[in-house]
Amino acid sequence: MIPVRGYSGHKVAVLGLGRSGRPTVAALLAGGAEVVAWDDGAAARAAAEADGIPLDDLTKAKAWDGAKALIVSPGIPHLYPAPHPAIRAAWDAGVAVDNDIGLFFRSFATPAWQEFDRMPSVVCVTGSNGKSTTTALAAHLLAATGRPVQVGGNIGRGALDLDPAEDGMVVILELSSYQIELARALQPDIAVFLNLSPDHLDRHGGIGGYFAAKRRLFAEGGPSRSIIGVDEDEGRFLANAMREEAGTGDPVIEISSGRKLDRLGWSVFARKGFLAEWRHGRQQASIDLRAMATLPGAHNHQNACAAYAVARVLGIGPRQIEASLATYPGLPHRSQIVGEWGGVRVVNDSKATNADAASRSLGSFERVRWIAGGRPKEGGIEALRELFPRVAKAYLIGEAAGGFAATLGEVPYSVAGTLDAAVTAALTEAEPGDTVLLAPACSSFDQFASFEERGERFEALVRERLAG
């Protein structure tokens, strides 16, 4: 745990008592703050009360007497589509609103760092797709060299639940737009922007607000090194904004999946399955990614470029990185190969919760038995139309099934309704050379509590079916 600094003896309110809220309460208490908390869920309140956490309804004006700050969990709207009533109450009381990421950056560095031989570093990774894989892969590359590393934020442990720094430690935080937008302090040493596609638009008032939230990590965070994907205009804009020296590109490293970046400056890109590093107009290294089963497809090659760039900034050599890339085990529910039976490959990409993420999966395989659907995102699957020739048949589930069926047109499909029925049908009809792919292009919340639960159910169904 990282004790929160700056609130000793002061009252601090915490809204939301989930994966980030509970560690936030503990870290505030460890720093000497007086905490009062609230959650809209009765079960979460009961669990907190049983653990001795003081509760008060933060939507009531009286709860704000003497309060210095409100710390909000990322899932709670603070502006769009409408602010939570407790946030409005904090505004009315003149109380500063922050989140656990802001507290982390205020509290991670301590006077004890003066005794370290090597200063700790904080790497922050954001983007619409690939954040978790890039974060985990970068951590894998660093850990393989013996460097102490921790991962947290939007993956694994909450930021304040991490351990205090030790000599030379690297903390890699995966950060969503929700987390970046509200944080009052942002101070990454290295910041990574992967890509941008429409997502969470209701929470940001549109695509411009969504990009503005992610841009804060760079514009207000002021990283020493910015690693930026330039395959979309937003990334090119951001890279240009972060450059300080014309011609050299410093302090930006551009990354791409599919574009050759051989201009002056520092770049890492992947083309035709090969990762290349260029500096000052000359190639420095090349790595063959084609045989790396846990990094299939162009989207994972972009993730590899970003993680490679992080490792290079932190002093790891290309050959060390190449050896470690080959041993990366992959992350659950992200283009995860469940197995191959009778010439049929089964892939779990439950984390593909929007059309852009699903396009990256579909583009990685030639003949797909595609399980798709759930709670639909804005735009549906219209953007995937050019990939429909890869779909041997679609098996549609959840609330999106009807809309997806209308979009598919002449692509063979069946409305399975449930994941159980879709898996049974897809595995029954699959032929050698097919890939049975769960890439829903939807959130899971119509039938499952999370994409993890959906992915775990998919894997269990596959194994049950094949065992029987």
CATH of the domain at 221: 3.40.1190.10
Same domain? 80 vs 108: no
Q: Which residues contact 386 (CB under 8 A, 6 or more apart)?
A: none
In the prediction, which pLDDT does 247 show? 65
Backbone angles phi, psi at 13, to 5 degrees: -95, 145
Q: Which residues sit in the known binding site?
A: 127-133
Q: How far is CA 148 from CA 106, 114, 136, 170, 330, in A?
A: 21, 18, 14, 6, 20
* Whole-angstrom Cα Rg for the chain: 23
In the prediction, which pLDDT does 468 show? 67
Q: Which residues sit in the known binding site for ATP?
A: 127-133
Which of 26, 21, 29 minimizes the C-alpha distance to 58? 21
Distance from C-alpha of 274 to C-alpha of 271, rounded to nearest angstrom:
5
Which of 188, 166, 16, 22 minimizes the C-alpha distance to 102? 188
Query: Of 325, 349, 378, which residue constitutes the final position of a domain?
Result: 325
Query: Of 30, 64, 98, which residue constitutes the final position of a domain?
Result: 98
Identify the three-state secondary structure at position 417.
strand
Same domain? 373 vs 430: yes
Q: Does residue 456 lie in a domain region?
A: yes
Q: Does residue 434 lie in a domain region?
A: yes
Same domain? 122 vs 259: yes
In the prediction, which pLDDT does 26 show? 97
Q: Does residue 17 lie in a domain region?
A: yes
Helix then strand count (H, E) for the chain reads 15, 21
Q: Does residue 330 lie in a domain region?
A: no
39-51: b (≥16 Cβ within 10 Å) or e:
beeeebbeebeee
Query: Of 50, 71, 98, which residue constitutes the final position of a domain?
Result: 98
Same domain? 122 vs 266: yes
Q: Does residue 2 lie in a domain region?
A: no
Q: Does a cis peptide bond (omega within 30 degrees of 0) precede residue 296? A: no
Domain count, the chain: 3
Query: Which structural domain, as residue segments, surrounds residue 56?
Result: 11-98
Same domain? 407 vs 280: no
DSSP state of 390: G
CATH number of the domain residue 436 falls in: 3.90.190.20
Q: Does residue 5 lie in a domain region?
A: no
Same domain? 187 vs 151: yes
Q: Over the chain (468 residues), what is each successive 10-residue block's mean pLDDT? A: 97 95 97 97 95 95 96 95 96 97 97 95 96 96 97 94 97 97 97 90 90 97 97 96 80 95 91 95 95 87 97 97 94 89 95 90 93 93 96 98 96 97 97 97 94 96 88
Same domain? 307 vs 440: no
**Strand partners for 69:** 12, 96
First-to-last alpha carbon distance for the chain, in angstroms, is 46
Q: Does residue 3 lie in a domain region?
A: no
Q: Does residue 31 lie in a domain region?
A: yes
Same domain? 312 vs 358: no
Same domain? 417 vs 363: yes
CATH number of the domain residue 89 falls in: 3.40.50.720
Same domain? 382 vs 447: yes
Q: How far is CA 397 from CA 80, 263, 386, 428, 452, in A?
A: 29, 46, 21, 17, 17
pTM, two decimal places: 0.86
Same domain? 252 vs 209: yes
In the prediction, which pLDDT does 220 show? 96
CB 325 within 8 A of CB 181: no
Same domain? 82 vs 195: no
